[in-house]
Structure formats: structure tokens, C-alpha cells
Structure 1
Amino acid sequence: MGKKLTNNLKLKILSVFLAFFVWLAVTNISNPDVTATKEVPLEVLNEDVLSTNGKTYELIDNRTTVTVAYKVRTLDAGSISASDFRAYIDLADMYEPTGAVPVKVDVKNNKVDAVTAKPMVIRVTTEDVQQKKFDLTAYTEGKTESGYREGTVNIVPTSIYVSGPESQVGRISTVGITIRLDGANSDLSGTAQIQCFDANRNKITLDDRVTLSRSEADYTLSILKVKTLGLNFETEGRVADGYRFTGIESNVNSVDVVGLKSDLAEINAINIPKSELNMDGASADKEVIIDLNKYLPENVELADSNSKIHVTLKVEPLETRTIELKTSKIRQVGASSRYSYQYDRDAIRLSIKGLQEDLDQLTDDDLEAEVDVSDMGPGTHPGTVTFELGAAYELVSQDDLQIIVHDREPGDTVPAPTQEETGSSTRETTAAESSSGASNHTTAAETSH
């Protein structure tokens, strides 16, 4: 039984081999046709048919290949390649209403037959070509070294032409180059790729139909030293009567300027002449707009494009205030120990003019009132009281003061001699308290306008 099974297995294997050789023999003898396909690059012919009329084209779906189907003998199938076919469309054959162009296939190998292309028709869209001139713009990336800033840039060429479909050229807002600063502290130069940008300064990637008259541009960029300068203001004129000029306010007190190191070394401030700040007859704050460019030295520029500053001449009204001063606060200058001195009243009134804020802070002690009695003998004398008011105040008027001088009686107490009796001031107390001291005084404070 086992021997029989072994013989049957051998017969089966032998049958398989015999069947294969029979098939191979039949195939070689009959050599039947088989159908195959190849992906073949698609060519476009007669593009000048459109370009000479100011138009460009685009294949719908951006197709670059077609599928070529063909028949070939079985034995030749392995020798067929895509290079045995040439697939193309001829734009001269385009049906303009739909943009349809038939696909044609040339066969370079006579072993194939029944050639067809898929798709058989390619649709083409056409568009007018636009040529537009753009001035080149320089953009920068990165930062200069601290204390430096980019200056003027020169680009060669200054402009180029961009040609392409209207829809593509219309996307372009500016054309220019990008210069990297990267901590620069000296002038930069080089060559940069020309790029197209949209309105938001984003780089635009355009298709192959867009061409630039030049792809690169040469540039030089000056790097300038930055220096901070203070502003010096000069004024002229007098404000209206009853008012006082109190100072200058500016929205800017210093500015950054740029220039060559040698030029900046010679300047430390920008001086605004008094002709810009005239306050004649002013009775309120006066605002002035000043263009700083007018007062910059040659070859020095503002770092900021805004060159105008706002300056305010502050003018405030003067007020008159009446103050009552106790005569005990009046010092006596040049008093003699042989006499006693009395005032004819306990207080005097005086009118002082000044700014409200200054008047609010004025005290009796600030007046430093004193009267000179050095030439007075026994009797009643008019006394002129002087005050140390300072430039902030003006004495408008004051009450008259009478000083009564008496000889001292033998029993009166005589104060001990002080430096005032030897040339300095003396303070002496009588029935009415009096004091004296030496000082330089004026009868009225200087009025400031």
C-alpha cells in the first residue's frame, strides 16, 4: 500500500512539470497579444500661440503625465518602456470655448499596437499676461549692536519688472530684498535674493509662470552710531501784567540721533533758540510745535521719524494777599542801649503779590521783617519796615509804622552788651517787645515776569 502511494506522488509531480512545459511550448508557438500601460510625460507644443497674443496658460489639475495603454506580443512585453511613447498636446488645437486640447501619442517602438491615452483630452485655462514695474524695497531682520542703528540703504538696481498671469502679479504688493543685521556695528554690503511680498509683508510663493527681470540685487546699508541728546530751551519776552512765567513743559526732553561717530562727538545737546519761545503779552499757557530737524547739525539725523515736539510755556495769574504781621515779629536794627523803643500799634498789614501756591506756603518768619532805628533819638519817628521776600513775591503795600523812642531811666534794666552794640545787630526788650538784628534788606521783593 505504501509503495503504491509513493508511486502516485511521483506521477503527480511529473504531471505538473509536463503541463508547464506544454504551456510554455504553446505560448512560444502562439505568442498572443497582451494589454499593458505606461505613465508617459506630457509635453505641451506651440506655447507661442498664446504668448504672442499676450496670454499664458495652465493645465487644469496641473497634470504632467498621461496613462498610455497599448497591446504588445507576450514575448515583447518586457522590452517596452515609457520612452517608447511621446505624449503631447498642441495648443494650436485648443478649442477656445472650453479650453479642451486632445492628447496625441507618437509610438517609437513598432512592437506595440492599439495605443490610447487616458485622459484623451486635457483642459487648459488661459489668462492675460501682465508686466509691472516695482521699485525695490529693503527690509531688515534682526538687530544691530546696542548703540547702533541702520541708516540709509542703496539698492542696485532700484527697480525690476515682474511678468506673469494677472492673478499672480496682482497678489504682489512690494518687491524687495531682506538684509540681516545680526549685531552689526559697521556698514553692510552684499547681494540678496529678490523676493515678492504681499500687503502684510509676507513672502509670496509664485508659480513658474511668473518671471522677474532680475533675481538678485546688490545693496549697501550704512550702520550709524546712536547718541542721546538733551534739549535746551531759551525764552524771550514778558508775559502780560498780573501774570508770571513759571517754566517750560515739553513732551520730549531728550532725543536719540544717529550719525557718524566723528559728527556725534561734537554735539551734546540740541539748543532751541529763544525766537521759537516768545511769551510777549501771554496771559495763559502758550503751546508751540517745534521741528527739531531745523536745529540738527549737518550729517546728523533723528533716530525717530517724528521730528516735531510740543512745548508749553507755563503762565499763571498772580494773586494779591493781605497779611497781618505782629510788630513783635519786627526786628530792630541798630538799637542803642541808652534808649527804649516802642511801636505805635500791635500789628501792621501788608499786601503781597505772588502765585497762589507760593502764597499758601508763606509764613511770618519767611518775611524776615526789620526796621532800622540806628539814627533815631528820643521822640516819635516814622519807621520803614523792610522784608526779605525773595523773587517769588512782590510787596504791593504796607501800613505806616511809628516808633516811639525814650531815654532809659536810671532804674531801667539794661541788657548786657552784645555784638550788635559793637557793630552787629542788638535785640532789646522794652515795655513793648522789640528786637533788632543786622541784615541786608529790601523794601519790596523783585517782581518776576
Structure 2
Amino acid sequence: MKKRKITDNIPLKIMSVAIAVVLWLIVVNIDNPTGTNYYTLNDVELINKEYVESSDTIGKMCMPEQNQDSIKVAITATKKIRDKIKVTDISAVADLQQAVSLDTNPVMVPITVTCSVPGVSPSDIKVTPQNLSVNLDEKETQEFVVNVSRGDTKPGKDYEVGSLTASPEKVRITGPKTLINKIDKVNASIELDGNTEDFTQDVNLTIIDKNQEVLTDSEMNSLRIENNAKVTVTAKLWKIRQGVQISADYVGTPAEGYQVGAVRIVPDTISVAGSTEGLESLADNNNVITIPEDSIDISGESEDVEKKISLTNLLPDNVKLTSDSSEDVWVTVSILPAGSREFEFPTKNIEVKNKPKDLQVTFETAQIEVRIKSDNKDLDDLNNDKDIKASIDLDGKKEGSYEVPVEIVLPDGYETVEDVTTEVVISSGTAVDDSKENKE
């Protein structure tokens, strides 16, 4: 007898399997068998909370127990019905009026699950666990300021946020004392989306706990928030004005034998943003912000006087510094010996002696200050570019940053008032060295 191989009559075998599958589908469809599907629900709605507050335990409020697991739902029905059921068709509630006792801790509240798909009856549904664990706590009410934020959103080009205000500016929140004491701040977030005009937006409140985490949905549902947790945020957007100058003066006179040199301000110009009225007021003052002279007193001083001045209270109404501006400026009043003068000498003109081989030398500043005096010559006759010679000596220096003395050579009849130094960086980089090198 000839032995058959498994590969014999392949087309016939495939056709047999296909027919069997079709017959099975037909039988299943005709029989419509009953089976069970399983679903997971992550939240249970707690209803009739007022029952706890109005019961013998008056003054108490409830909240679901923390870290309570989700519930499992099993629905038994015919295949046609089960095929129609989605998890969104299923809802679960826990009715506090059905609690067996309010004296237990936690209180166990029966969970009732319903399905909106026709043909599913309550007896077809099983839920695990059968009760929601609820904690009772003293009722507490506190007021919280609403903090308005814009996240990473920005207004349009050349505009800054002038103000973000919430209405109401604070809200009253009532809830279980333990939960109320967890609250750190109440936020209202608004999106600017490149706007250039003032606008108003209704937003939902977000509550942050002391761990800087957002309250869960179940925790939020345990609170009663004034205005249904909604506020109206108004954004005022102000135009930016650049190149606003800072001016400063001083009071007093320096010590005998000394005089005032230059008054330097760092930075000497800033950018501000303001309302139309605020910028008009600034323009009326020639776009200059003046530091009051009594902010800087040089009385009896024999050395430079340096002061840090805050601009915050010097700006006109409805004008503020832009977000990338420092609120402080530094004002330096130079105090020089009588008969002397301060000259600015470009560091690119400093001769570098004994420059390290194969290394680059760069200066940290564009110029140095040289204070010069003369007993018998006019300082106005001294030519900064031709008459002042400056050099540094880097003998023995390696890679690194250094503050080195500067040798100043002046024509006869002139002399420096004090020693001069400059900061240099020696590196192996490819930066171009603009200084003059010793050609020896």
C-alpha cells in the first residue's frame, strides 16, 4: 500500500479548514452563546455626600481612601450583546445613603454598576470589590489666592505681559480637613498664543499639594470650590520699548585734593514694556529714567564710589522692565586726584611681550582705564592713540587666565596716577589675537 505524505492534496485540505471555520461561525451566530466579559474602571462616583454632613456626624466630610485600587466589572450576556459593550458604556456609583454604618473607619459604601447597553440587567453585572472605602474627616474651609500663570506661552513679537489678573482673585474651598491642609496653591493657567492685544479667558482651577503634585480627580471631587472651580483671567499685553537711557547724578564733594571724573552706569540703556499711557509718560521725559541724585553720596570720598541701584520704583506708572532685564544697575562715580584725568585705552593696542609660543592671547575687555596727571602740561594735549604706549609681559605664563600689570609709557611731563592691570586669557584655541606682538 502506498504511503501518503502530509503534503498530498494541500488545496483540498485548505478548503476543508476554511469550510470548517465558516460552519463554526454559522453555528456560533445561530446559537448566540452566553459568556462573560471583564472590564476595569478607574473611578467610582461618590454620591449623596451631603448625607454625611447632615447626619448625626454633622460637620464631617468624606473622601475616597488614598491608593484605592480600580474596580473590576464582569458582565455576563449573549455574544451579540457583549460585542456592543464598551467600557464607556459602564458607570459605577457609591451611594453614601446606602452605607451600613458611618461609625466605621473607613466607611464602606456599596458600589452599584450599570451598563447602558440594552439587554444588560443589574443581575448580569458583578463588581469586585463590592464596596468603596471612604474616610470621614472634620469639615474645613479656607481661602486661597489664585495664582495666574502662562506656562511656556508667550505674547507676540515686541510685546510683554503687563499683568495677569484673576477674577475672583481668591476662592473659598471647603473639604475634609486633611485634604484642605494638603493644598499648597491654587493655579489658573492661561495660554497667550502670540497675542498682541488684551484679552479675557475663562479657565479651570488647578490645585497643587505641598508635594507640588496636582490633586487627583477623586480628591477634587471631595472639595467644594467657590464658583465651581472656574475663574476669569484677564491678560494685559504691553508694547516693548528698547533703548531707554539711564541717567545718574550724585550729591556731595570728594575729599580735599580730589575731583570727580566720569559717572558710568552699567547697563546705561534698558528695555521696558508699558501700556500706551505709560509709554507716553516715558516719552515726555525723553525716554530717560533718572536715578535721584541723593541715591549716591560722594562726600569726603577719595576712591571710586560704586552703588547698586534698583530701578523698580523709578519707572513711571504702567511701565515695567522686560522679562530679560535686570532690575538693578551699577553706578560708578570716578574719584580722581585733582589735576588728573581718565583715558580709555584700547586693549588691541597693547603690545604683548614674551607671548607663549603656539598659544593665543585674548583680552577680557575692549579697553582699559588709564588715569594720568600733569603738573605743568594740559591733559587735553595728550593724544590717546599716539602719545600713550602700553605693554604687558607674559614671560613664563602658560594656559590660563591672568590679571597682569600693564606698563604705561607717557611723554615727558605726564605720569600715571595709579597702577594699571588687565585680564588676559592664554589658550591653545584658534582665536585671532589682535594685540601687537614683540617681534624680537
TM-score normalised by the chain length of structure 1: 0.49
**Which of the pair has more CA radius of gyration?**
1
